[in-house]
Each structure stands twice: as C-alpha cells, then as structure tokens.
Amino acid sequence: MRIAIVCTVPDGGMVHFAQSCFAAASDLGHDVLLVLPEHSAVNVEALTSHGEVVLYALNKGLSATRNTVSNIQSILELFRSDSVWLTDETVTSSAMRRQCGADDVVFIHDVKPHLAKMGLKTRLRFAYLLKQRGSSLSRTSHVIVMSNTAKFDLEERYGEDVKGKVSVLRLGATVPECETTRPLELTESFDGKKFFLFFGAIEKYKNVAGLVKAFTRLLNDASDAKLIIAGKGRVGKSTLQVIAAHQNSILLINRYISDEELVYLMNSARATLLPYREATQSGVLPISYKFKKPVVTSSAPGLAEFVIDNKTGYVVDDEDGLVKAMANLLDDTCASDMGQNGFDYAECELNFTTNVASVIASLSNANCEDR
C-alpha cells in the first residue's frame, strides 16, 4: 500500500505522532510519504531512511491556507497514494478534510475538546474545527482514534456519520531520538534527585492546582520529595504562591519544553503524574512507560484504560489517593518494579508498529468489502 501521512503542526506531540506512524508503516513494508511543514522540529535526514519526506510552507490566514492546501494536494498527486492519513486537526487539515476521499483516513485525538476551559480566541477556533469535523466524518470511510474510550465517545457523539468506520490505534510512545539537554531552570535542589514529573501543556482540566495541593501534603511526611511541572500554560495566582513558598521542592518550568529537555526530564524522573479531571487519551503516558517510569493517573477512563492499577502505576480517585500513590513511589524498589512493568506492558499492548499494522489491516479489509 502507498500511504501518505500529512502533518500540519511543526512541533510537539502531533509531529512526533506523524513520524511514528510514518516509521511504523515503513517497517511494515509499505511505501510511505511524510508531508510536513517547513522548519518542523524533526531530523529530516534520519526520517528519509523510512521513505520520502516533503516539506511545504505553512502560512496563516484564509488565503494562505488555501495556497497551503493546494501545495499539499500537488505533493499528494505526485505520490499517487492509495491512502492519505490526515493526522491532526487544525485549520489547514480541516481544509484538507473538506476535499478528502473515501480512501482517506481522518485521525481524531480529542473527541471532546475542553472548550469551556479555553480563551475566547481558542474556543472560537475549536468551535469552527468541530463544525467542519462533522461534515468530513460523513464523507470519509475511515476514522482513527487513540483509545477505546475515544471510540465510544465518538460513536456516541456522531452516530450514523461514523457507524462502522472507527478503528482504534492505541497510542504508543512517540519518543524523540535525540541527545539530552538539562533545562536551565533546574536548581541545585534538584541535582541528582529523582523527582515526580508533570509534563505537557498546562490547562485547567489537567488539574495542576490539585497536584500542587496534594504534593504539599506529601511534603509534611516526606520533606525530601521533589516535583517538576514542565510545560507552557496559565497557572493560577494562588498555585504560583504555593510553588514559590516551596521553591526547593517544587519547580515550575512554564514554557515549551524541547525534545532534548523532555528526554532529560524523563530519564531523571521517579514517576509521571497525570491528575487530569477528564481525558480521552494522553501521549505522556506511553512515553513514560518507554522510559520505564510508573504513572499515576486520575480515574478518567481515557487514562485509566492504559494503567494496570498497582502494577504499572496507580489509578486514583481523589487527592488522598494521589498523596498515597506518591508516598508509595518514594520507595525506589516500588518505582523501579512498576516502571519495568509499564515498559513490558507497553511493548505488548502499545507497540506502535503492531498497532499500525492492525489499522492498515482494517483499512484493507474495509476496501475489499467496498469492492
């Protein structure tokens, strides 16, 4: 099969995901093309060992978007793909989806964007994307989500438009292959210490405020515990005050984290924490397993689905449970054993190549049935 994988985001989790799909499809023996924005945070030379990589200019604005889509379409026409994978949801990819055909594949990462927790500009953009999503789902014959929870939510939300179309690609680790870089903000208090790690864009639904509150309770009995919160976003004033009052125990790196810094943080972490109030999936979770780090998550179905409680980490229902889970993981043996369990689980259940193979098989079967 000739597969073209299109990404319209230059950095972060989406470009890592597109690269992983590209590499997996190539490893499975398919002819693959990866279409990326210019100046993407990728190693193009390394990627070309898997297949063809083409870069395009990604410009903002309505007329610029039309030109961008036209350029991408020209690239796809030259490749003559059997299937086009539209791996993200942006204004550009939404415009692409308006022209998608029956053999094209639409990926949905967040079935229910957290609109109420966004700024006005972001809410308006997502409202537009959601409106466009409905029409594209009715046209395409293949929709891919990242968890069984997301599949249920999508089918419940869109009904007949997605009936019989949805496949699950359980999200594997999209780990960047790069050197490590120590974040400049790390102080002497964190040197050589194993810390709890919260990583990713900071948004209200991810409950950073609740995490900080729980961690300060942990400090009452474990004064040497450390927490790093790494990612860009708005943090409430009261939470910032608590962090400042515990600056030798809690470090906030409130900015975009490079791949090199992510690798450093994951290597040095004791465990990762995902105290989200809601979620359909998270790329941080399989990355944690890849680095042999146990995971503490809330009981949000899209997270709990990927954690074997008391084996690969902990699923907690409230603040008390979060404090207890962190206390348990201060034991080095417990953290190490759970980290190895998580790695083994991911190798079996979250293997990107195996899961991409299942998706391609489902696409092939669907195409045969259509014929």
Inform me whether the pLDDT recorded for 85 exceeds 90. Answer: yes
Residue-wise pLDDT tens digits, 139-160: 787 899 988 888 998 999 888 8
Number of H helices, E strands in the chain: 14, 13
Considering the entire predicted model, what is its pTM?
Answer: 0.80
Non-local CB neighbours of 319 within 8 Å, separated by 6+ positions: 210, 213, 214, 217
Measured in residues, the chain has a length of 371
Query: Which tens digit of pLDDT belongs to each residue from 181-234?
Result: 999 999 988 988 999 999 998 988 899 999 999 999 999 999 999 999 999 999
Q: What angle do CA 168, 257, 33 make, to 5 degrees?
A: 45
CB atoms closer than 10 angstroms to residue 320: 11
With a cut of 50, say whether residue 168 has pLDDT above it: yes
Q: How many CA atoms lie within 13 A of 196 on its CB side?
A: 31
Tokens of 41: 């945070």
**Calpha distance 262→65 (Å, rounded):** 31
Q: Which of 62-66, 71-75, 103-107 has the lowest mean pLDDT?
A: 62-66
In the numeric block, the tokens 């929709």 are attached to 143
Half-sphere exposure of 349 (CA within 13 A, CB side): 17
- CATH for 2-172+351-370? 3.40.50.2000
Best CATH choice for the domain 188-349 from the list 3.40.50.2000, 2.40.37.10, 1.10.1240.10, 3.40.50.10070: 3.40.50.2000
Residue 302, amino acid: G
Same topology, domains 2-172+351-370 and 188-349? Answer is yes
Nearby residues of 128 by Cβ (< 8 Å), 6 or more positions away: 91, 94
Q: What is the pLDDT of residue 121?
A: 63
Residue owning tokens 């059997």: 82
Euclidean distance between CA atoms 369 and 141, whole angstroms: 12
pLDDT class for 369, splitting at 50, 70, 90? low
* pLDDT for the residue 263: 94
* Model pLDDT for residues 1-57, shown as the tens digit of each residue: 899 999 998 887 888 899 999 999 999 999 999 999 998 888 888 899 999 999 999
Q: How far apart are CA 219 and CA 209, in angstroms?
A: 16
Task: Give residue limits of the domains in the chain.
Answer: 2-172+351-370, 188-349
Query: What is the predicted pLDDT for the residue at 362?
Result: 82
Please list the residues that pair with 145 across neighbouring strands.
Answer: 168
Which pLDDT score, from 0 to 100, does residue 60 have?
72
Least confident of 104-118, 148-162, 246-260, 340-354: 104-118
Report the C-alpha gap between 41 and 27 in whole angstroms: 22
Nearest to 357 by CA among 49, 80, 21, 109: 21
Within 8 A by CB and 6+ apart from 332, the residues are: 194
pLDDT at 333 over 90: yes
Average pLDDT on 82-104 reads 81
For residues 302 and 285, give the distance between their C-alpha atoms in angstroms, rounded to a whole number: 11
Can you give the pLDDT at residue 91? Answer: 82
pLDDT-above-70 percentage for the chain: 91
Residue-level pLDDT at 133: 79
Give CA–CA dist 308/231, Å, rounded. 26
Flag whether pLDDT at 128 surpasses 80. no
Question: What pLDDT digit, counting tens, does each position of 289-318 carry?
Answer: 999 999 999 999 889 999 999 999 999 999
Rounded to the nearest 10 degrees, the angle between the axes of helix 332-349 and helix 319-329 is 100
Q: State how far the Cα of 83 lies from the Cα of 198, in Å rounded to an integer.
A: 37
